[in-house]
Amino acid sequence: MFASEKAAREEDIGAVYNVTAVNATDGSTIVNYQSTNFLTTCVGWSVDDLEPPFEELPSRVDLLFLFAVITGVRLLFLYLEFTALDIMQARL
C-alpha cells in the first residue's frame, strides 16, 4: 500500500484538497495550503499540526523498520497475554 501510494504521489495522481485553519475569534487565516490525499506516506504527520506535510516521503526501508518495531511490540504483548491467561487457568 505504501509503495503504490508513494508512486501515485510522485506522479501527482490522486485527490488534492485545501487545508485552511481560521482563527475563531477574529476570522483571520492561520494557515492555508493544498495537500494530496494520503494514508500511509505521511506517518507521523497530522492536519492538526497546522503545517503542510513534509515534501520528502519516508523511504520504504524506514517505514518497514517502523512497522517491524510495531509488530514486534504487539507480538510481545500478545505473548504476555497468553502467558497471563495460562497462569490464571492453572490457578483455577
What's this model's pTM, rounded to 2 decimal places? 0.47
Alpha-carbon Rg of the chain, whole angstroms?
A: 21
Between CA 53 and CA 60, with CA 55 as vertex, the angle to 5 degrees is: 100
Q: Give the domain ranges of the chain.
A: 1-55, 59-92
Name the nearest CA neighbour of 4 among 67, 57, 69, 62. Answer: 57
For the stretch 6-56, pLDDT in tens is 777 777 776 666 667 777 778 777 777 666 666 665 655 555 666 666 666
Rounded CA gap, 90 and 27, in Å?
64
C-beta of residue 46 within 8 angstroms of C-beta of residue 35: no
